[in-house]
Structure 1
Amino acid sequence: MTGTNGQLRYHWLPVVDDSSSYGLVRHAFSGRRIDAGTSGKSFCGDLFAIAEPSEMDWIRAPSCQRCNSELKAMKG
Protein backbone atom coordinates (compact mmCIF):
# COMPACT_ATOMS: atom_id res chain seq x y z
CA MET A 1 0.00 0.00 0.00
CA THR A 2 1.35 3.39 -0.88
CA GLY A 3 0.64 6.77 0.61
CA THR A 4 -0.58 9.83 -1.28
CA ASN A 5 2.98 10.91 -2.06
CA GLY A 6 3.89 7.54 -3.62
CA GLN A 7 5.80 6.30 -0.59
CA LEU A 8 5.20 2.89 0.92
CA ARG A 9 2.85 3.09 3.93
CA TYR A 10 3.56 0.66 6.75
CA HIS A 11 3.71 0.46 10.52
CA TRP A 12 5.70 -1.47 13.08
CA LEU A 13 3.94 -3.34 15.87
CA PRO A 14 5.10 -5.68 18.66
CA VAL A 15 3.25 -8.99 18.27
CA VAL A 16 3.47 -12.40 19.94
CA ASP A 17 6.41 -14.25 18.39
CA ASP A 18 8.23 -17.09 20.13
CA SER A 19 11.47 -16.37 18.26
CA SER A 20 12.30 -13.77 20.94
CA SER A 21 13.15 -14.56 24.56
CA TYR A 22 10.73 -11.74 25.49
CA GLY A 23 7.92 -13.47 23.56
CA LEU A 24 7.22 -10.47 21.33
CA VAL A 25 8.91 -9.10 18.22
CA ARG A 26 8.24 -5.81 16.37
CA HIS A 27 7.12 -6.69 12.84
CA ALA A 28 6.25 -4.36 9.95
CA PHE A 29 2.75 -4.48 8.45
CA SER A 30 1.26 -2.81 5.37
CA GLY A 31 -1.03 0.17 5.76
CA ARG A 32 -1.87 2.28 8.75
CA ARG A 33 -2.15 0.91 12.28
CA ILE A 34 -5.62 2.36 12.63
CA ASP A 35 -6.80 0.23 9.69
CA ALA A 36 -5.31 -3.04 11.02
CA GLY A 37 -7.72 -5.85 11.84
CA THR A 38 -7.34 -8.65 14.36
CA SER A 39 -4.58 -10.35 12.37
CA GLY A 40 -2.13 -9.32 9.70
CA LYS A 41 0.58 -10.59 7.40
CA SER A 42 3.95 -8.99 8.09
CA PHE A 43 6.53 -8.04 5.48
CA CYS A 44 8.53 -11.14 6.41
CA GLY A 45 5.53 -13.22 5.27
CA ASP A 46 4.25 -14.52 8.62
CA LEU A 47 0.70 -14.09 9.92
CA PHE A 48 0.27 -12.63 13.41
CA ALA A 49 -2.58 -11.80 15.79
CA ILE A 50 -2.84 -8.03 16.32
CA ALA A 51 -3.32 -6.67 19.85
CA GLU A 52 -2.62 -3.39 21.64
CA PRO A 53 0.98 -3.52 22.95
CA SER A 54 2.08 -1.92 26.20
CA GLU A 55 4.80 0.71 26.40
CA MET A 56 7.13 -1.96 27.82
CA ASP A 57 6.42 -4.16 24.78
CA TRP A 58 7.66 -1.38 22.49
CA ILE A 59 10.82 -1.02 24.56
CA ARG A 60 11.69 -4.69 25.06
CA ALA A 61 10.59 -6.33 21.79
CA PRO A 62 13.35 -6.53 19.18
CA SER A 63 12.67 -5.62 15.55
CA CYS A 64 12.25 -8.37 12.97
CA GLN A 65 15.34 -8.28 10.79
CA ARG A 66 13.53 -10.04 7.92
CA CYS A 67 10.84 -7.32 7.87
CA ASN A 68 13.56 -4.68 8.03
CA SER A 69 15.45 -6.27 5.13
CA GLU A 70 12.29 -6.53 3.01
CA LEU A 71 11.46 -2.85 3.57
CA LYS A 72 15.02 -1.79 2.76
CA ALA A 73 14.93 -3.83 -0.47
CA MET A 74 11.60 -2.26 -1.48
CA LYS A 75 12.90 1.26 -0.88
CA GLY A 76 16.05 0.60 -2.85
Structure 2
Amino acid sequence: MKNRVKEFRSARNMTQQQLADLVYVSSRTIISLEKQNYNPSLMLAYKIALVFETTVEELYCLKENVKNEKENL
Protein backbone atom coordinates (compact mmCIF):
# COMPACT_ATOMS: atom_id res chain seq x y z
CA MET A 1 0.00 0.00 0.00
CA LYS A 2 1.41 3.34 -1.02
CA ASN A 3 1.99 5.72 1.87
CA ARG A 4 3.71 8.98 2.76
CA VAL A 5 5.21 7.94 6.09
CA LYS A 6 8.79 8.65 5.04
CA GLU A 7 7.79 12.02 3.55
CA PHE A 8 6.03 13.12 6.75
CA ARG A 9 8.81 11.76 8.96
CA SER A 10 11.57 13.45 6.97
CA ALA A 11 9.71 16.76 6.97
CA ARG A 12 9.87 16.69 10.78
CA ASN A 13 13.54 15.66 10.88
CA MET A 14 12.50 12.56 12.78
CA THR A 15 14.41 9.28 12.72
CA GLN A 16 12.75 5.96 12.09
CA GLN A 17 13.57 4.98 15.66
CA GLN A 18 11.97 8.13 17.06
CA LEU A 19 8.76 7.44 15.16
CA ALA A 20 8.83 3.80 16.22
CA ASP A 21 9.18 4.83 19.87
CA LEU A 22 6.23 7.21 19.60
CA VAL A 23 3.90 4.53 18.23
CA TYR A 24 5.33 1.59 20.22
CA VAL A 25 6.66 -0.54 17.36
CA SER A 26 10.15 -1.55 16.26
CA SER A 27 12.19 0.49 13.83
CA ARG A 28 11.97 -2.53 11.46
CA THR A 29 8.21 -1.96 11.31
CA ILE A 30 8.73 1.66 10.28
CA ILE A 31 11.34 0.61 7.70
CA SER A 32 8.91 -1.95 6.25
CA LEU A 33 6.12 0.63 6.16
CA GLU A 34 8.32 3.14 4.33
CA LYS A 35 9.37 0.50 1.79
CA GLN A 36 5.68 -0.32 1.34
CA ASN A 37 6.35 -3.94 2.31
CA TYR A 38 3.92 -3.89 5.23
CA ASN A 39 0.32 -2.81 5.61
CA PRO A 40 -0.30 -1.54 9.13
CA SER A 41 -3.24 -2.33 11.33
CA LEU A 42 -5.87 0.37 11.47
CA MET A 43 -4.75 1.27 14.99
CA LEU A 44 -1.10 1.67 13.95
CA ALA A 45 -2.09 3.75 10.92
CA TYR A 46 -4.18 5.96 13.21
CA LYS A 47 -1.35 6.37 15.75
CA ILE A 48 1.10 7.42 13.02
CA ALA A 49 -1.44 9.85 11.57
CA LEU A 50 -1.87 11.40 15.03
CA VAL A 51 1.90 11.88 15.37
CA PHE A 52 1.95 13.79 12.09
CA GLU A 53 -1.31 15.63 12.78
CA THR A 54 -2.91 14.39 9.57
CA THR A 55 -5.55 11.88 8.54
CA VAL A 56 -5.09 8.21 7.84
CA GLU A 57 -6.53 8.84 4.38
CA GLU A 58 -3.87 11.42 3.53
CA LEU A 59 -0.99 9.52 5.12
CA TYR A 60 -1.86 6.30 3.31
CA CYS A 61 -2.94 7.82 -0.03
CA LEU A 62 -6.38 6.25 0.27
CA LYS A 63 -7.86 7.63 -2.95
CA GLU A 64 -4.83 6.60 -5.00
CA ASN A 65 -4.69 3.15 -3.42
CA VAL A 66 -8.39 2.54 -4.05
CA LYS A 67 -8.01 3.66 -7.66
CA ASN A 68 -5.02 1.34 -8.18
CA GLU A 69 -6.86 -1.56 -6.62
CA LYS A 70 -9.86 -1.07 -8.91
CA GLU A 71 -7.59 -0.91 -11.96
CA ASN A 72 -5.95 -4.20 -10.99
CA LEU A 73 -9.21 -6.13 -10.67
TM-score using structure 2 length: 0.29
User: Per chain length, whose mean CA-contact separation is higher, i.e. which structure has more relative contact order (CA < 8 Å, sep 6+)?
Assistant: 2
- Structure number having the greater strand percentage: 1
TM-score using structure 1 length: 0.29
